[in-house]
């Protein structure tokens, strides 16, 4: 794994910091017992080149860290209030480490991260930390790794226990001129030395500003520097704007109408990164116009090249500049129309991903209409092997999650202001439920599901409100917030009783609410209450002819009865469930039913049948690459083999289970 982008074409200065870093790496880890990884802190204000120096160090030193180079940008996951959900960042690092299953809660993710990094030689770059407490949980276990942290200022709550701080100042004038000459190969810099000096002053020596200025000079090679600099100096004197702002303003002023409009709109884009398809939806002028506008933004130095994942990111400094340009030159009505079009496009794509990933299921929102002038993402494609559309849909939901979370907030804010948005906000939460079940990001999912509840309350849609409360309850109880989860489900059930009629859709939603009540009871260990709710839910599904819903409730009831000791009844139910899931082609649920049934058969003393069922469940889990489920089955097989005198077989299962738990960082 190597998550660092290619080196830039030009880099100057920073020899002292590079030499210091090499010296510290050779000296070994800090601390009295040598148990902490070496941590290098690169600090300096925005645009000074911290990130590129971190990348340069990682490239130069990566041979000493053969287990991989990981990168996370905390600004990519920073919420509007400035907070970072460190559990989500750990999730990103665990994915980079190849974890095939990620624990749901922060403490377990931290232990999983420590397990997977223990004894490894890794380099980890943590970009844009604001506090040491954001970076501390991301340190790998042990002393054989390197962590490079960038921040705008010193991290006093980290540096006292870490390696060393390497503060960055703007390059010296000679180095700044050297960089500008390498970027431009422009004879004007030597022919007009006074103007060149003034240009360096305007850029304040910041590499980010010098890069933009260099691209600007290359665009206007036929103009004297004095002419180009005149307007910049006048604005600096008259408006008192920060020096770098003048360079970005000049680059913006050189843009055509479509690129300038796109730049202004990107300042309010609801996520930290975006794709060409999203830009197409934002502009509403067709993909060719969108692509041309992006090309011109890159040529002007106002948009970096796409990252290794192919997504484009506008750095926060440039996002802020884009917002200021929008305030000064933009049209508020145009921004609102563009954002509404973008939200509706994301809603339609998310619903398509939901359908491809989860199939037909209970949904309260209608299907979103096509957005004129845009193209849909194709999740199902001709010639796809089995499962390809499902994998593509989940991948899209995960890669676009920040934009989807942002769209929920944008839509709700518009609705709260009395405009459009309430229906879109809650409708987006339904595909985000499918995303949550496979990629839980607890802080963000709880936040948007709360927003979905608020949107449904404002809209007065009782069916949607019940659905949103149920969705919110599960991540709450999985994070130990049982009281609030119970309040949400109690309110949902009260709404069902007071406002629902007898239509099949309303009865199905009522049955789903009872299922959630049963799952909460099970999470609390109240199996009698859980069994009662699952039985009641299943009866409704039977009455309205929802075969899948009835089978799912039989499965849940069978597990509850097993916990209650009603083993014969549980076995009968689970045997029926196994056959029904298999007939419906639901491989994962079939394997889980086999696992549950095997446990019941074992407790009934029918160990040969239990062993056969465990082996069948293992085959199903392997086909689905469900490593965590596979490890659980192997543990059960090892225990069964040991109790029945097959010690060699038990040891084989134990070894295989340990290997899988180790892959998950849960050894």
CB 470 within 8 A of CB 443: no
Q: What is the pLDDT of residue 160?
A: 47
pTM, rounded to two decimals = 0.81
Question: How many whole angstroms separate alpha carbon 136 and alpha carbon 37?
Answer: 11
Instruction: With a cut of 60, say whether residue 421 has pLDDT above it.
Output: yes
| Neighbouring residues of 151: CB distance < 8 A, sequence distance ≥ 6 | 41, 42, 43, 50, 128, 129, 130
Question: Considering only 43-57, 272-286, 453-467, which range has the smallest mean pLDDT?
Answer: 43-57
How many residues appear in the chain? 667
Q: What is the mean pLDDT of residues 537-544?
A: 95
Question: How many whole angstroms separate alpha carbon 467 and alpha carbon 196?
Answer: 63
| Neighbouring residues of 574: CB distance < 8 A, sequence distance ≥ 6 | 555, 558, 559, 562, 593, 596, 597, 600
pLDDT digits (tens, 9 = 90+) for 86-133: 999 999 999 999 888 888 888 999 999 999 999 999 999 999 898 888
Question: How many whole angstroms separate alpha carbon 16 and alpha carbon 14?
Answer: 5
Q: Which tops the pLDDT comparison, 453 or 499?
A: 453
Structure tokens at 278: 């999203």
Q: What is the pLDDT of residue 665?
A: 80
Q: What is the mean pLDDT of residues 560-579?
A: 96
Structure tokens at 494: 């009260």
Instruction: With a cut of 90, say whether residue 178 has pLDDT above it.
Output: no
Structure tokens at 621: 């889990």
Q: What is the pLDDT of residue 246?
A: 72
Q: What is the pLDDT of residue 240?
A: 41
Question: How many whole angstroms separate alpha carbon 194 and alpha carbon 177?
Answer: 12
Share of the chain above pLDDT 70, in %: 95
Structure tokens at 547: 């075969």
Q: What is the mean pLDDT of residues 166-189?
A: 85
CB 550 within 8 A of CB 542: yes
Q: Which three-class secondary structure state does DSSP give residue 124?
A: strand
Q: Which three-class secondary structure state does DSSP give residue 78?
A: strand
CATH code for residues 565-667:
1.25.40.10
Question: Considering only 31-40, 53-62, 246-255, 392-401, which range has the smallest mean pLDDT?
Answer: 31-40
Q: How far is CA 140 from CA 41, 94, 116, 137, 650, in A?
A: 16, 11, 9, 8, 33
Share of the chain above pLDDT 90, in %: 56
CB 412 within 8 A of CB 421: yes
| Neighbouring residues of 312: CB distance < 8 A, sequence distance ≥ 6 | 273, 274, 275, 279, 294, 303, 304, 306
Q: What is the pLDDT of residue 238?
A: 53
Instruction: With a cut of 50, say whether residue 236 has pLDDT above it.
Output: no
Strand-pair category, 38-43 with 69-73? unpaired
CB 71 within 8 A of CB 36: no
CB 520 within 8 A of CB 489: yes
Q: What is the pLDDT of residue 241?
A: 46
Confidence of residue 162 (pLDDT cuts 50, 70, 90): low
CATH code for residues 15-167:
3.40.50.300
Average pLDDT over the chain reads: 88
Q: What is the pLDDT of residue 584?
A: 84
pLDDT digits (tens, 9 = 90+) for 612-623: 999 999 988 887
| Neighbouring residues of 424: CB distance < 8 A, sequence distance ≥ 6 | 343, 344, 347, 407, 411, 415
């Amino acid at each position: 794994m190597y998550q660092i982008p290619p080196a830039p074409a030009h880099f100057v200065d920073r020899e002292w910091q590079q030499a210091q870093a090499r010296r510290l790496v050779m000296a070994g880890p800090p601390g009295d017992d040598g148990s902490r990884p070496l941590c290098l802190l690169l600090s300096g204000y925005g645009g000074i080149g911290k990130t590129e120096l971190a990348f340069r160090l990682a490239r130069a030193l990566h041979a000493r860290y053969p287990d991989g180079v990981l990168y996370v940008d905390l600004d990519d996951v920073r919420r509007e209030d400035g907070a970072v959900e460190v559990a989500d960042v750990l999730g990103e690092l665990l994915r980079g480490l190849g974890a095939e299953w990620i624990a749901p809660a922060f403490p377990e993710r931290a232990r999983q991260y420590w397990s997977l990094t223990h004894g490894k030689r890794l380099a980890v770059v943590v970009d844009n930390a604001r506090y040491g407490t954001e970076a501390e949980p991301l340190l790998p276990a042990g002393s054989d790794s390197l962590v490079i942290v960038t921040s705008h200022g010193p991290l006093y709550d980290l540096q006292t226990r870490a390696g060393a701080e390497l503060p960055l100042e703007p390059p010296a004038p000679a180095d700044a001129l050297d960089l500008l000459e390498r970027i431009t190969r422009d004879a004007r810099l030597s022919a007009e030395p006074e103007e060149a000096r003034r240009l360096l002053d305007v850029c304040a020596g910041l590499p980010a500003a010098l890069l933009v200025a260099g691209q600007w000079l290359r665009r206007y090679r036929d103009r004297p520097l004095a002419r180009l600099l005149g307007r910049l100096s006048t604005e600096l004197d008259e408006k008192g704007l920060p020096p770098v702002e003048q360079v970005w303003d000049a680059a913006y002023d050189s843009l055509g109408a479509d690129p300038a409009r796109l730049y202004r709109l990107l300042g309010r884009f609801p996520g930290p990164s975006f794709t060409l398809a999203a830009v197409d939806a934002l502009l509403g002028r067709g993909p060719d116009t969108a692509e041309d506008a992006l090309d011109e933004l890159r040529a002007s130095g106002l948009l970096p090249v796409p990252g290794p994942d192919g997504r484009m990111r506008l750095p926060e400094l440039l996002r802020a500049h884009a917002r200021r340009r929008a305030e000064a030159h933009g049209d508020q009505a145009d921004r609102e129309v563009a954002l509404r079009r973008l939200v509706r496009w994301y809603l339609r794509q998310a619903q398509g991903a939901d359908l491809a990933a989860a199939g037909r299921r209970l949904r309260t929102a209608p299907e979103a209409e096509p957005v004129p002038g845009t193209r849909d993402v194709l999740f199902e494609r001709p010639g796809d092997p089995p499962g390809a559309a499902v994998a593509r849909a989940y991948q899209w939901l995960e890669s676009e999650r920040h934009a989807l979370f942002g769209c929920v907030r944008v839509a709700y804010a518009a609705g709260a202001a009395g405009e459009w948005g309430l229906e879109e906000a809650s409708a987006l939460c339904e595909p985000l439920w499918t995303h949550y079940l496979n990629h839980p990001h607890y802080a963000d999912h709880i936040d948007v599901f709360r927003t979905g509840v608020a949107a449904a309350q404002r809209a007065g849609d009782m069916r949607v409100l019940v659905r949103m409360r149920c969705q919110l309850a599960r991540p709450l109880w999985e994070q130990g917030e049982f009281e609030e989860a119970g309040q949400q489900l109690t309110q949902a059930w009260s709404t069902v009783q007071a406002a629902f009629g007898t239509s099949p859709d309303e009865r199905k939603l009522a049955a789903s609410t009872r299922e959630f009540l049963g799952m909460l009871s099970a999470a609390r260990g109240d199996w009698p209450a859980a069994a009662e709710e699952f039985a009641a839910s299943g009866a409704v599904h039977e009455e309205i002819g929802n075969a899948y819903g009835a089978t799912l409730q039989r499965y849940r009831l069978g597990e509850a009865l097993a916990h209650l000791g009603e083993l014969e009844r549980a076995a009968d139910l689970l045997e029926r469930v196994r056959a029904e899931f298999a007939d419906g082609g639901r491989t994962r649920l079939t394997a889980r039913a086999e696992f549950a049934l095997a446990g019941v058969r074992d407790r009934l003393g029918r160990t040969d049948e239990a062993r056969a069922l465990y082996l069948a469940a293992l085959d199903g889990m392997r086909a689905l690459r469900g490593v965590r489920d596979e490890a659980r089955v192997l543990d059960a097989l090892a225990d069964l083999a040991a109790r029945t005198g097959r010690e060699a077989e038990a040891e084989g299962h134990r070894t295989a289970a340990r290997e899988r738990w180790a892959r998950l960082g849960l050894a």
